[in-house]
Amino acid sequence: MLSQARSIVVIAPDLGLRQSLTFALEVEGYRVEAHESWRKSTVILGPTLCMIIDDQVLRSSSDILQRLLQSGQAVILLTDGMSPPIEGELGRILSLAKPFNGADLLGLVKNLALTA
């Protein structure tokens, strides 16, 4: 059984992106819980290494960003690189522009694991 420190929650509306992220992370030994939306997830902001969230999810509700900021949860935010940045103090929210290299994503995740 993997520890919570090796658990990652992925929330992205695009099935292909969710599957790609899940595969890449599981190959590296992480346990992944993937959801298409915040509402469909059973996310309890608890002891996970991080959440990887497509910025479309945050744009659908400003309430989600506030909950993330209050939780102190580490987040990797996948952005399209063209939309205006999400407003607010980002704290432990790292940004990665799509399309991205899998090595770049894994580098962010591994850095979070070192500081966890």
Question: What's CA 84's distance to the chain center, in Å?
Answer: 19
This prediction's pTM = 0.83
Put residue 52 in one of left, alpha, beta given phi > 0 → left and psi -120 to 50 → alpha.
beta
- Give pLDDT tens digits along the chain (116 positions): 345 568 999 999 999 999 999 999 999 999 999 999 877 555 555 578 899 999 888 877 767 777 777 777 888 999 987 766 665 555 667 889 888 988 999 999 988 887 76
Q: Inter-axis angle of helices 102-115 and 15-27, to 10 degrees? A: 60
Joined tokens for residue 81: 């690189």
